Amino acid sequence: MTQTTQPQGILGSGLRDGLQLKPVRYQWAMDLYNQAVANTWFPNEVQLVQDLAAFEKLTDDEKHALKTVISYLNPNELLINKSLAFGIYPYVNAAEAHLYLSKQMWEEANHFMTFEYIIETFPFDRQEIYAAGYGKKSLKDKSDFQTKYVGRMLNDKLDVTTTEGKKDFVRNLVAYNIVLEGIWFYSGFMVGMSFRRRNLLRNVGSLLDWITKDENLHLTFGINLLLTILDENPDLQTQEFADEIRDLILQAVALEEAYNKDMLPKGILGLNADYVNQYVKFMTDRRLEELGFEKEYNVANPAKWMAAANDTLELVNFFESTKYYGGNIPEGKGIKGIITGPNTIVHSSRIASFYKNKEDAIIDMAHSLKFEVDAIAKKVNPVYIQVDEPFLSTGMVDMKTAREAIDIIHEGLEVPLAMHVCGILKDAFGDISKFNVDILDFEFAGNNVNLGVLEKNASLVANKKIGFGCIDSAVNTVDSESDVDGLVTKAIEIVGRENLLLDPDCGLRRAPKDVAFYKLKLMNEIKDRYS
């Protein structure tokens, strides 16, 4: 057997090169492979039946926009797969990089099948789908750009031992990874996800969430690969070549601007071509910075709800950079202790064999939880303790017993006690306002009823602070900044700034880590605005 070799750099084309995993030379590639495996998902895990009904309610312009997005993204997922197989994989000789690229190729196939799943589910005519947008000069120009760079990946044999061969590889990698995946695709994702912001095609939005999560890793890999190649090859580190790469990216932005004007001739779902193109420019500045360039456009992100898609390198390890990592609490900050309340525990449990009625069980549970609450107060010194009682809004709970149970928990507690109640409060607010707690916490972002209930009954809670759910925990995209700001402004008018504590509607455990992070980041930015 021919002995394998362990090459010095990441580029190479020897058949037997790069077949040894250990020692791992590029830990970033190994980490990304492990994360990609952990992210594995399948499109049929999401049911599209409800979205079918919503599709019928779309306007013709909205249907056209959706068809155009799918007609572009679907075949290009396979184009990227070909680019990886023929233009990237053969020239990267680190085993850990090959592992990630193999997973990425599977993901591109999975994305393709996701769009196939959508096409098969909706009443789409395939010829009409693939014809959407065709005949437009803007689409032909984008296609020509892809052919110039990505097409070369498929047809030409590169000699990556030469400076010109390495330059060709970098050009092609930038064209497919930075431009096609990192800018053009995100423009389409934004249009596709915008339907969910109007409570339409929510499950299609979930599928796009998962695709975007994969794409964040694809971009992170590609950027790491580019930076590694530049670091290992000083002959590429010229101002002339840097200017060429920058110009390549900016040329692609101009093509995308023209395409979006054709795709969105009229405004839909709060979007128009100028809005989308500002997002494209914002995203381009992000990509330029990730590659070490200066920004070109210096525009604000018009779509903060897409924030989870904006970052690559920062997203992968954002927990490692937070000051809270490892349990260290920054000076002047604090935590809240959270327990599930006795009423909710009992009403969601089967106790018929042990108790004659739920009321007795609730009181016993309250006494047991009192030990836990006191332990939390003693051990971690929380700013306050929150009891989660979602069942109080259901009409299933005896309010007299519920108040007695909360009184047991509150007795002798030296820190404030909050009670979280989600759901519609219209019928329960009067009773809930009488509970002996310091803070009442409700959801308002994903609920179009509770703000009116609070406004009507503000006098009942004048002696309490309000935990104000201003972040929608039911959707896995970052909330609109203007929507959150509008909610908070209204809440300040109703109860006063000094009586308001901002938080998400409910827990964010179902949201991807990156989405949860940016939801909380947005909430804190709003808080600082009014502090």
Residues annotated as catalytic are 117
47 vs 39: CA distance, rounded Å: 19
* Residue 182 and residue 173 in contact, taking contact as beta carbons nearer than 8 Å: no
Q: How far out from the chain centre does Cα 386 lie?
A: 27
* Pairing label, strands 384-388, 439-443: unpaired
363 vs 344: CA distance, rounded Å: 12
**Start-to-end Cα distance in the chain:** 70
The three-state secondary structure class of 34 is: helix
| Length of the chain counted residue by residue | 531
Residue 502 parent element (H or E): strand 500-504
Residue of 216, 228, 236, 206 whose CA lies nearest to 50: 206
23 vs 143: CA distance, rounded Å: 41
Residue 97 parent element (H or E): helix 95-121
65 vs 75: CA distance, rounded Å: 17
Please give the single-letter amino acid code of residue 327. G
- 14 CB-near residues (< 8 Å, 6+ apart): 5, 7, 93
